[in-house]
Homo-oligomer: A and B are copies of this chain.
Amino acid sequence: VNKKIDNFKNLVGENWVITDSDTLKSYLEDETPQGSKVKPVSDIIVVKPGESEELSKVMREANRRNIPVFVRGGGTGLVGGCVPTKKGIVVSMDRFKDIKVNDESLTATVGAGVTLEELKASVNKAKLSFPPHPGDETAQIGGLVSCDAGGASVVKTGTMRNFVMGLEIVLPTGETIRTGGRLVRDNVNAGKLMNFFIGTEGIFGIITEITLKLQKSQKARGIMIAPFDKKHNSLEVVPKILKSELTPEGIEYAERKTIELVSEVGREISPFEGGEAFLLLMFSEPNEEALYSGLEKLRKTLKKFGAKEPYFAETESEREKIMGIRSEFYPSLKPEMYKDLDICVPVDKTRDFISKLDEISKEYETYLHPYGHVGDGNLHVHIMQSENWSEEKYSSLEEDIYRTGTELGGTISGEHGVGEVKKKFLYLNLDKKSRILLKSLKKTLDPKNILNPGKVID
């Protein structure tokens, strides 16, 4: 072991190998809720390369000596993707911190360890915008790209993949490739290889640098809350909203009971009032004319589908208040949450999905707090702790929910990914040939299976 530690110290410098067991603790977990938590091994060291050349050497060494490598970004994942489960090393990307914003080509080139918060700050400073906002701002860009993260503002501009123009990648065997650049279109380099590394959760290579596409900043923002007495009305109107003149950047769904829980933990919840279900519509337009001319028509559409008088937040402080309530959903549920699922169904199937969930809830005598990105069909479903439930009962409920989503043409993961937690349900979405194909691609790139072993398809 000491020999191993010394080798890595030689490669990245003495200060950048962590072996002290107290400090190590913070590198063992991610944010997976308790019922799905992955048990880490304790026998690991953390290696923190400062640049891709060092990382390349680390991977060559690991590959030579068959040492499992678990890559860690911000550790905000919800499926145990970065949790080390074999004796080996954790590679932390914390030191990949460069940010270069180019306001002429509307691009940002950033190190994998740059956090979403840091990126947003630099982009705002350049008076540009980066539309995706996949949740926790301490997430790192390398992880967000590896997992093709989504979030609440995907309706107009899509997930992370749509914003990636170039990547630098260190392969499991230690070679470094650069693919793409500051190019909107690249039918050679980015076009042939880059997307293979996006959304595959780091099993094919480690992303070290990312060039992202930026956009002009949007000047007119607004948030609308539409309460509905009937859940199904709020779900049926979603495809109509997508066809309305004004496309929201996000459409979120929540039910009364979830709002009540947020209130119970001490949060002021107005203006989420007077409905069984709510749609939260977020707008982002280049100017107020565009926003307001579309808004009136949208109000009419909402009313036609049974919405009560919607509340429109216009000022920055009103918007912040509402986004604050929205961001309290998860932490309010968290203490009693056992599992957090992220099924995505076609946008015209959310009504059927919520109806089936209601049946399942009744059957299991629980409430699942379904909420989230209904504009994309991506709903978070939460299995809460229940007294006297066996592990089998939780698992059976989980599988029933996945099955229901899948039967409606959905996927078991809209955004959290597979990691370690969902491997056992992969069969619901990936046919056998696809699984075999992914495994043989993995074998081609990582013949000794040292990079993130045990994750996704292993």
With A216-B243, A286-B247, A377-B183 as known contacts, state yes or no: A189 contacts B429, CB within 8 Å.
yes
Interface residues of A in 240-256 (CB under 8 A from B): 242-247
With A104-B347, A187-B415, A293-B289 as known contacts, state yes or no: A433 contacts B196, CB within 8 Å.
no
Beta-carbon contact of A348 and B104 below 8 Å: yes
With A176-B433, A346-B107, A346-B183 as known contacts, state yes or no: A426 contacts B188, CB within 8 Å.
yes
A285 partner residues in chain B, CB cutoff 8 A: 290
A135 on the B face (CB < 8 A): no
With A182-B346, A185-B414, A187-B417 as known contacts, state yes or no: A287 contacts B245, CB within 8 Å.
yes
Beta-carbon contact of A192 and B199 below 8 Å: yes
Least CB distance from A424 to B in Å reads 13
A335 partner residues in chain B, CB cutoff 8 A: none
With A185-B344, A293-B290 as known contacts, state yes or no: A431 contacts B178, CB within 8 Å.
yes
Least CB distance from A51 to B in Å reads 18
| B-binding segment of A29-37, A38-46, A146-154 | A146-154
| B-binding segment of A60-68, A224-232, A437-445 | A437-445
A289 partner residues in chain B, CB cutoff 8 A: 289-290, 293
A198 partner residues in chain B, CB cutoff 8 A: 195
A107 partner residues in chain B, CB cutoff 8 A: 346
Beta-carbon contact of B105 and A182 below 8 Å: no
Beta-carbon contact of A105 and B438 below 8 Å: no
Beta-carbon contact of B189 and A200 below 8 Å: no
Docked CA distance A183–B344 (Å)? 7
With A195-B199, A245-B287, A247-B286 as known contacts, state yes or no: A188 contacts B444, CB within 8 Å.
no
Most buried by B among A171, A183, A247, A443: A183
A430 on the B face (CB < 8 A): yes
A345 on the B face (CB < 8 A): yes
Docked CA distance A438–B219 (Å)? 43
A73 on the B face (CB < 8 A): no
Chain B residue at minimal CB-CB distance from A128: B243
Copies of this protein, total: 2
Q: Given B162, B192, B346, B456, which contacts A200 in the complex, CB threshold below 8 Å?
A: B192
A143 on the B face (CB < 8 A): no
| B-binding segment of A90-98, A271-279, A404-412 | A404-412
Docked CA distance A186–B444 (Å)? 24
Chain B residue at minimal CB-CB distance from A375: B184
Docked CA distance A295–B412 (Å)? 44
A413 on the B face (CB < 8 A): yes
Most buried by B among A345, A416, A429: A429
Chain B residue at minimal CB-CB distance from A342: B187
Interface residues of A in 366-403 (CB under 8 A from B): 373, 376-378
Beta-carbon contact of A413 and B188 below 8 Å: yes
Q: Given B185, B193, B290, B456, which contacts A159 in the complex, CB threshold below 8 Å?
A: B185
Beta-carbon contact of B440 and A444 below 8 Å: yes
With A184-B344, A184-B377, A186-B414 as known contacts, state yes or no: A148 contacts B191, CB within 8 Å.
yes
Q: Given B104, B185, B433, B444, which contacts A154 in the complex, CB threshold below 8 Å?
A: B185
Docked CA distance A295–B360 (Å)? 53
A206 on the B face (CB < 8 A): no
Least CB distance from A106 to B in Å reads 6
Interface residues of A in 77-108 (CB under 8 A from B): 102-107
A50 on the B face (CB < 8 A): no
Docked CA distance A417–B187 (Å)? 5
A293 partner residues in chain B, CB cutoff 8 A: 287, 289-290
Docked CA distance A286–B187 (Å)? 30
A306 on the B face (CB < 8 A): no
Docked CA distance A378–B107 (Å)? 16
Q: What 11 additional pairs, Cβ within 8 angstroms, besides A176-B433, A187-B415, A289-B289?
A: A102-B346, A161-B195, A177-B434, A179-B434, A186-B344, A187-B199, A189-B429, A193-B437, A287-B293, A443-B444, A444-B444
A-B contact pairs, 10 of them (CB 8 A): A106-B243, A148-B191, A181-B346, A183-B409, A185-B415, A188-B413, A192-B438, A195-B198, A195-B199, A289-B290
